[in-house]
Each structure stands twice: as structure tokens, then as C-alpha cells.
Amino acid sequence: MRKVGLLAAASGLALLVSACGSGSEGTEADGNAPAGLARAGEVTFCTDPEYPPMEYYAEGDTGTPIGFDSDGAKALAELWGVEAKWQITAFDGLMPGLQAGRCDILWTALYMSPERLEVADATAFLETGPGLIVRSGDTSITSSEDLAGKTVAVQGGGSNELTIKALSDELEAQGLPGITVQAYPKTAETVAAVTNGKADALIETDVAVVEMVNKSGGALEAVPDIFPADTKFGVFTKKDSPLSPAVADGIRTLVENGTLQEIAVEYGLDPSRVVTG
């Protein structure tokens, strides 16, 4: 699933674009803006808008990302009375981009893994976990043990890759064949690997599985209950940043007033998975 190797080099191709959401464009700080923003009157979010329904571009639009994360970020900016801007960043440059100060906040469907929490602060906003996708009609995988000796595609550099490698180690410890892990830079490449028969399955965050299956035209299907929903997505800030408590307070407000739940429903997500903390 998702996402970013902590020590990967930041992408040099990041593109800064302004958000166009109602209520945030062109606004100025009104006294609600927290300390720690790089520029007065605006908050910049690092994102990789290639992960529907969390962050993506609407068809024909390559300027303003939409999705649960993107709309949530705009809601946070509106709460603070500042303009939302986006630092469009390649997946492996997301956490380095935050650390280098290219954005104030990293909000783009990243697990709150122990490795990330060592280098950044985070506030939870959505419970999640890995999901598994296979070619339609493939009934050979119904449990995690059935992945022994299989080839599994994954977007490289993130927690899902660690999960599938850990499972491979567990299977080998039981005397079973390990898993051949195929890591790709983009999720679309993992889909192609399964569709074309290069991989038996792909592991992806559960929130993205439904979207990927729906867009496959019947070529793919999800296998339920292979992995537990055992982690949370987080909104990340620099370690010990003055923004960290402000983000936590802001996310809590957006949960308590129902804003994030409404956004979840809009994008086909389970609103009961929305959390804070």
C-alpha cells in the first residue's frame, strides 16, 4: 500500500499548484492560522495524486487534486482561514519533501508506520490495512498461506512491501516456499502485472482495492480477509513542529463536526473508519 521509502531522495520534478476548492482560494489568514506555516496566509500539502479515491485528478483536470485526502486538506485550510496549495511530488519523494521543507504538511494516504513516526509527527484520520487483488476467477488464494510460492506485485518503498516481505519470511519459517515480491514505482504497474499474468496477485491499501477492481472491467477481483485492518493513515508534519498540535486539533474538529465523514461518503469510503488521534 502505500507509501514512501523514508530514506529515498526527493523528486526533482515536484510541481507546485494552487488549490481551487471553494472557501479556500484567495483567502487570507484570519487569526485561526497556526504558528509554523512557511508562508503567511497559505498552507502547502505534499501529495502524490495518483491514488483514487484518496488523491487524484478528475478527468481532464491536471491542476487541482481531488479525493478524500485532498478535500480533507482543503477543509483544514478553510478551518484555518488560509489558502491550500499543493506540492505535487513523486511517491518516493513525499517524506523527503516534508523533511526538506517543500511543504508544511504531508497528507496523502500514508500509513502511520513505526519507521515514519521515528522521523515525523502524525495525526490519525482513517483506519486502514492491506488488501489483496487477483485475476477474476482465480480461486487458488483464499488465505495468507496460499501465497506461498506465489508472485505478488506491490508499489515499492512503502508499508505494503514490508508486509508482504514479512509474510514471506513467516512462510519460509514454517517450511513453505517464500513469496516472490515484484516492486513497481506506480500502482498502475502493479495492476498491469496481475492483468498480464506477470504476478499472481497484488497487495494494495484496502481503500484503493475497490476502485482498482471497479476500473478493471471485470478483469480483477478482491480476496477478502487476507490481511487485517491493523493500521491508520496519518497526516504528517515535521518532528516536534509547532504545526503538529495544530494539525491534531484541526483533524479532531473536522471529525467532531462531521466534515471528514461526509467526505468519506462522497468518495465511497466507510465513514465509521474515520478516526482521530
Q: What is the pLDDT of residues 50-83, one digit of tens each?
A: 888 999 999 878 789 999 999 999 999 999 999 9
Task: State the average pLDDT over residues 266-277.
Answer: 87
For the ranges 64-68, 111-115, 133-137, 198-202, which has the lowest average pLDDT?
A: 111-115
Work out the mean pLDDT of the chain and round it to a whole number: 88
133 vs 214: which has the higher pLDDT:
133
* Res 20 pLDDT > 80: no
Q: How confident is the model over 157-178, as pLDDT tens digits?
A: 888 999 999 999 999 999 999 9
Distance, in Å, from the CA atom of 72 to the CA atom of 27, rounded to the nearest integer, reads 17
Question: What ranges do the domains of the chain cover?
Answer: 15-128+231-273, 130-223
* Res 189 pLDDT > 70: yes
Position 31 scores a pLDDT of 65
**Phi/psi at 22 (nearest 5 deg)?**
-65, 145
Position 231 scores a pLDDT of 86
Class of domain 130-223: alpha beta
pLDDT band, very low/low/confident/very high, at 23 (cuts 50, 70, 90): very low
- What would you report as the CA-atom Rg of the chain, rounded to the nearest whole angstrom? 19
* Res 22 pLDDT > 50: no
Indicate the CATH number for domain 15-128+231-273. 3.40.190.10
Nearest in space to 230 (alpha carbons), one of 112, 63, 140: 112
Position 80 scores a pLDDT of 97
Position 129 scores a pLDDT of 84
Position 77 scores a pLDDT of 98
* Res 14 pLDDT > 60: no
* Res 15 pLDDT > 80: no
- Say if residues 202 and 163 touch (Cβ distance below 8 Å): no
Same topology for domains 15-128+231-273 and 130-223, yes or no?
A: yes
Q: How confident is the model over 81-129, as pLDDT tens digits?
A: 999 999 999 988 999 999 999 999 999 999 898 999 999 999 999 998 8
Position 269 scores a pLDDT of 86
What length is written for the chain?
Answer: 277
Cα within 13 Å of Cα(235), Cβ side: 30
